[in-house]
Amino acid sequence: MKLKRINVKVEPETRNFLLSFVLTAIIAFILTFVTIWQLIIIPGIIGGLLNKTMRRGIYCGALGVSLVWLFYMVYKMAVNDAYTNLDQFAALIFGDLGYGAVIFILILLLGILFGALGGAIGSGIMLLVRPRFQKGTSKSIESKSSPSSKGNIKK
């Protein structure tokens, strides 16, 4: 029995989005274990740098960070019973037990916000830098390769 090869054609934009999403998730996973949680904006910036549009950069950063945080929090709740701590913290704020899910959702929203902000910053940087880089390289190539520019030196 011979297996058939499946040909899947993926657009370059979609491929870049998927690769930047995986890279964002890996970096977010590594930075999750750092004690400075505000560094979680860095994976969003890196994910935004790899996308051409601001929308894809924001989606990449938000999805990468929020999914890693979601899996990490669910793991901690299952293994270390971290929901008890969330519930006690919510009791300090709201005055009654049973609001741990609100704190859980707020933590996820904070991860989404930081990831989306990082993605927007990274995409914005690339939107500003890419046209200047492309314009600068095309001018330097033209000036070096055109034969008419060699004889027109004025003193």
Q: Which tokens sit at 123?
A: 């995409």
Whether 143 shows a pLDDT value over 70: the answer reads: no
Residue 26: which H helix or E strand, with range? helix 12-32
pLDDT more than 70, % of the chain: 87
How high is the pLDDT of residue 148?
A: 53
pLDDT in tens, 4-34: 888 878 888 888 999 999 999 999 999 998 9
> What is the rounded distance in angstroms from the CA atom of residue 56 to the CA atom of residue 79?
34
